[in-house]
Structure 1
Amino acid sequence: MKLVQVLVLGLSLGAIYGLIALGFVTIFKGTKVFNLAHGSVMIFGVYVASILTDRIGFAAAVAGGVLAAALLAAILDRIIALAPRGDHLVLTILTVGLDVVLVAESSRLIGTNFITVGDPWGSQTISLLGATVPLTRVIALVTGLVLIGVFFLIFQKTRFGIRMRAASADSETAALMGISQRSVSLSSWAIGGGLAAVAGVFLAMFPNPGLDAHAHLLVFHAIPAVIIGGLDSSGGAILGGLIVGITQTIVTSYSASLSFLGEGIGDISPYILMIIFLLVRPSGIFGTKELVRV
């Protein structure tokens, strides 16, 4: 039954990574900027949710945290918009500077404490096919799948989604058709920030003790998911997140049998998988292959 438990935990962790990866990809598709301040946005959303929980209740606090993260992401977008456009690598490096500033501020606010969101499930567990798993992880899996479904429904079936997809495919042609690149950029960052906050809320729940001021580094576990799935593929981000979550959970759970590989092999296993993909299929599973004319 341990295998069932490991798979459920892996899928739930994969759904969380998938939400973070989807945020990365949404911002990249909308602006061609890889937001390395994504983790700080996530921590800000969780922090806002944590201070609101006792005042307005868990559900409303989470909504407030998600909106706060979306707002912060939109503000970062407007700051980056002040830089000259053209070199997206420079803009990506700019997010590193913004991240350093945000990490310093979050360290000041949080200190050495762990932030929690006061979820109503606590340390409750349930039995699935004879395996005992934390209730929060099952809820994380269900929530992640629902949000992913809503995301794809909006982007495939609504006018808003059509404008976003058109702008990400060819921003110049989309602009000629009256689609505002500024609104697409703003929406991309806000959506990405909101998705990161939802993932962060679940990372702050049991079985984790909460998130500290340096938990922004957790989003880097989702980078292998982005690379594996494809940097410009929303579906690939989800699949990559599930692959990374399951891989990390399985390797960590059976680390005793893999002791010859050294301690902490579970934490680095997604990066080993990422390296393999970069060597064999750099564009990822669903990523667009870059054509080079000679």
Structure 2
Amino acid sequence: MDKSAHISAPKSQAAHSSTINSDKQTNTGRTSTNQNSTDQTITADQGSTDQSNAEANTNSDNRFDVIISGGGLSGALMALSLSALLDHQQAPLKIAIVEANPVLTDPSRSFDDRVLALSHGSAAYLDRVGAWQYLHEHAEPINNIHISDRGYYGKARLYAGQHHVDALGYVAEMSVIGAAFLKALATKNNITWFTPDSIEQIQWQATQVNVELNSGTKLTAALLLACDGANSPCREFANIKSTSSDYNQSALIVNVGTAIHHNNVAYERFTETGPYRHVAIVSSAKYA
């Protein structure tokens, strides 16, 4: 990964929803090689994510400040967090997201119905990056938390009112969190999607990293961020070793509907065989 002191970027170019990054560059002294790419390079502009086929180009059309490998929750949130930053020319950072799943046309491939609990601080951060406005109506607040340990007397009770906050946290399905991230990203004209596509090769240079995608598209950036999961291809390309251990344990995650309202109370119960947690989500007919 590049270790330069700062990110140097070409001037940001406006992206239009009805077009994608084109191969219009003419760099003196360089030979431009255009390859037909069957992948779809999607540029989001003011809520639009129109798609069309793009030609791969190693010139400045495919030069970015940051390439993010992975467009799931981690990669999408990273892109949102960086999108407001400016380079040394006071232009927004030019960011590429490479995602193997067709997340813009079939987000369920990346964001399923597993439930996530967001702390009060996490919700505040999502508000700062512009995602909470698309999420808050679909997130159930946690007003009270009951914590206990089976077989022991000690218990803990937490109440939002005592901490002077609207909620101690929020609960939402990954699918609605992902949808909120995609809507927020669609308002940014400095974000370019390469999806469905994946990184095939990485060349590490002194001041930049060169990336070739499975489609043949070639990208260049000052920084490559690996947000591509536990089995990260970028980690393998970088020869970063990892170790894993099998705990010989399993976790069961179930979404259920109840006849009695949950009253926005979350329960966490520790037992000899493992913890049990119950959190409330927004009522949905599919769990009735």
Same-fold status (TM-score > 0.5): no
Normalized per residue, the structure richer in strand is: 2
Q: TM-score, normalised to structure 2's length?
A: 0.26
> Which one has a bigger Cα radius of gyration?
2
